[in-house]
Chain A
C-alpha cells in the first residue's frame, strides 16, 4: 500500500492543462524526486496534494482517503506538510516563533489555557521549545533561533522552512526546490541532510528539484514531468539514460 496515491490527476487553468492525467505514488519511508523543466507543473502537483487547488479531474489519496475535499489546514492535520519554492516565512516572527506556528494544530492548550497560562501551559510550552531546539540543532540553526527568520541568508531561510514543515510531525513531507539558490556543495550537503532526516523521523519525502544531478544521489525513485505529463519514472540510473528525459532537458537548455 502506498502512502500517497495520485490517480489520473488533471489540473486545467482555463484552456491551459498544467497537470495532465498524472498517475504516481509515494510509498512509506520513500524518498522520491520529482524533476522537470520550469513550468512542467511540479509545484502545481504540490498545490493539488495540499488542498490549495482542487484538481479538475482525478483523485489524490493519502492513506486511502481522498485529500481533494480537504482544506489546506486539514491536509496538514492528517500528516502532509510542505515547503514553498518562493520562500514563505512569517516575516514578523523569529526563527523559533516561525516554527512554533507548526505546533498550533497539535497543542493541547486552547484559547482559554493560553490566555490564562494555567494547567499544563508552562510544561507544554517547554516541551515545544525543546522540540524546536532539537530540530534547529539538526539543521545547524540553533545560533540564529532568535533572529527574524526573513533576516537570514537565503540558504538558511530554506532550512527554516524545512524545519517548520517537519515540526508539524508529518508522515509525508513535500519539499519544493529546497536547494534552490544554493551552490553545488551546499546542495549536496542539504540532500544528505534531507536523507538523514527522512531516516531519523521515518517519514516519506517527495522532493521537487529543477536540477536532475542534485537528486540522482539521494532519491530511490524519480518522476519526470514535462508539460504536465509524466514522461518517465524509475530509478536514477534509468532516468539518466532515458531518451525522453534527455530530450526534455536538452530542449530546455536551448531556451
Chain B
C-alpha cells in the first residue's frame, strides 16, 4: 500500500516536472534523460547480477534488441501508427507505449532463448554466453541493411511503389518517397515513469516472500533447492525481467537520440552497466541508482580522456574490490562476532 502510494505520487511528480522540462537547458536535459535510461539499465542488471547472484555480461545486447526493434516499428510502420492513433499527445502516447512494449518483449524473448539453456547449467556459463550473445547481436545488426547496417539507423524511406528501406537504393533514386525519421517520443516523463516502474517492481518483488527465492539463489543454491526453491526458474525469471527492462531502456534511447548505431551497444556499454552495479553494491537499489547517476555524469567531465574509459572502469573496479568489496552502498555481510 505504502509502495503503491509512493509509486503513484512519483508518477504525478514526474508528470509535473515534465510540464516545466521545456525550460531546462538542452545539454542538461540530455544528461538527465541518459541518467534515467542508465538507472533503468543498471537496476535491471542488478536484478540478475545483484539480487540473484548470476553474472550477465551482455546487457547492451538486450538494449540493442529493444532499441532496434522498437525504432524499426516506429519508422517502417509510421503510417500505420499515424493512421490508427493520430499524432496528438494522446495518440503519440498510445503509440509509444506499444513501441516500448515491443522493445521490451522482444528483448525478453531473446532473454528466454539465451537464458534458459545457459542458466540450467551449473557454473559460470552465463557470463560467457551473454557476452557472446551481445557481440553476435551487434555483428548481425552491422550486416542488416534494413536497419542501416554499420551506418546506423535514422529512419525509413517508404517509396511510392511500396518499397521500404533504410537507405535509398541506387536504382530507386527516381522513385518518389516519404522519409519517416525516428519520432522523438522519449521525454522526461516517459523516462522517469519507467525509472519509477522499475523501482516499484524491484522493491515490491524483493520484499515479498516469493522474492526471497532470488536472494536464496544468490546466497546458496544447494540450500535453496533443498528448501523447495526451483533455482533455475528463479534465475530465468530474474534474467528475463532484466532483459525486458533493458529492452525498454533501448527503446527509450532510440526515441530520444533519433539515431542508433550498433556501436552504441558494444561491449563497452555492457561493461559500463556492470560497473554501475558493482560500484553501487550488488543488490543495493539505492547504491546502484547513485552509481548510475555518477557514471553518467562523470564522463561529461572527462570528455578529453574518453578513450581511456575502459581503463578508468577497470581501475575503479580494482580499487573497489580492495577497499569496499560490497560496493559503495552494499551491506557488509561478514558475520558479527558474538559470544
Please say whether chains A and B are actual partners in one complex.
yes
Total chain A interface residues with beta-carbon distance under 8 A: 46
A114-B205 contact given A92-B219, A93-B219, CB 8 Å threshold: yes
Cβ-defined partner of B338 (8 Å) among A72, A82, A152: A152
B333 CB contact (under 8 Å) in A81, A115, A148? A148
Minimum CB distance partner of A110 in chain B: B210
Contact A100 B230 (CB under 8 A): no
Given A153-B338, A168-B228: A115 touches B209 (CB 8 Å cut-off): no
Question: Is the CB–CB distance between A150 and B223 below 8 Å?
Answer: no
**Cβ–Cβ < 8 Å partners of B4 in chain A:** 117
Cβ-closest chain A residue relative to B206: A114
Report if A60 contacts B (CB, 8 A): no
Contacts of B335 in A (CB 8 A): 91, 148, 150-151
A90 touching B223, Cβ below 8 Å:
yes
Q: Is the CB of B204 within 8 A of A101?
A: no
Q: In the assembly, what is the distance between CA of A111 and CA of B201, in Å? A: 11
Does A125 touch B at the CB level, under 8 Å? yes
Q: How far apart are the CA atoms of A107 and B211 in the complex, in Å? A: 11
Which residues 77-130 in A have Cβ within 8 Å of B in the complex? Answer: 77, 81-82, 84, 88-93, 97, 100-107, 109-111, 113-117, 121, 124-125, 128
Assuming the contacts A89-B223, A151-B338, A152-B338, asked whether A114 and B211 have C-beta atoms less than 8 A apart, the reply is yes
Find the residue from B212, B219, B225, B331 having the highest chain A CB count within 10 A: B212
B237 smallest CB distance to A (angstroms):
6
Chain B residue nearest to A52 (CB atoms) is: B222
CB of B216 within 8 A of CB of A72, answer no
Q: Please, which residues of chain A bring their CB within 8 A of the CB of B24?
A: none
Given the contacts A115-B201, A117-B204, A121-B208, A105 and B227 also touching, CB distance less than 8 Å:
yes
A43 at the binding interface (Cβ < 8 Å)? no
**Residue pair A72, B225 in contact (C-beta under 8 Å):** yes
A213 within 8 A of B: no
How many inter-chain contacts with C-beta < 8 Å in the A-B complex?
Answer: 126
Docked Cα-Cα span, A82 to B225, in Å, equals 11
Given A92-B218, A117-B4, A150-B335: A73 and B204 interface contact (C-beta under 8 Å): no
B3 within 8 A of A: yes
In the complex, are the beta carbons of A73 and B205 less than 8 A apart? no
> Which B residues, 195 to 250, have Cβ-Cβ distances below 8 Å to chain A?
201, 204-205, 208-213, 215-216, 218-220, 222-231, 237
Closest A residue to B208 using CB positions: A114
Chain B, Cβ-Cβ closest to A161:
B223
Write out the residue numbers on chain B whose beta carbons fall within 8 Å of the beta carbon of A52.
Answer: 222, 226
CB distance from B111 to the nearest CB of A (A): 15
Residues from chain B with a CB closer than 8 A to the CB of A148 are: 333, 335-336
Task: Answer yes or no: A165 CB below 8 A from chain B CBs.
Answer: yes
From 166 to 217 in chain B, residues with beta carbon under 8 angstroms from any chain A beta carbon are: 201, 204-205, 208-213, 215-216
Q: Does B36 contact A (CB under 8 A)?
A: no
Q: State which residues 154-192 of A face B: CB under 8 Å.
A: 164-165, 168
Contact among B211, B224, B228, B336 with A77 in the assembled complex (CB-CB below 8 Å): B228
Question: When the two chains form the complex, which single residue of B3, B216, B225 contacts A93, counting CB atoms closer than 8 Å?
Answer: B216
| A200 vs B138: C-alpha distance when bound (angstroms) | 61
Cβ of A76 < 8 Å from any Cβ of B?
yes
- The 8 Å CB contact of A104, one of B204, B209, B338, is B209
Quick check: B210 and A168 within 8 Å, CB to CB?
Answer: no
Q: When chains A and B are docked, how far (Å) is the Cα of A76 from the Cα of B218?
A: 19
A63 at the binding interface (Cβ < 8 Å): no
Q: Which residues of A contact B (CB under 8 A)?
A: 50, 52, 71-73, 75-77, 81-82, 84, 88-93, 97, 100-107, 109-111, 113-117, 121, 124-125, 128, 148, 150-153, 164-165, 168
Q: List 26 A-B contacts (CB under 8 A).
A: A52-B226, A71-B225, A71-B230, A72-B222, A73-B225, A73-B229, A77-B228, A81-B226, A84-B223, A88-B220, A88-B223, A90-B215, A92-B333, A93-B212, A93-B215, A104-B210, A104-B229, A107-B209, A109-B209, A109-B210, A114-B208, A114-B211, A115-B208, A128-B209, A150-B333, A165-B227
- Chain B residues in the interface with A (C-beta under 8 A): 1, 3-4, 201, 204-205, 208-213, 215-216, 218-220, 222-231, 237, 283, 331, 333, 335-336, 338-339
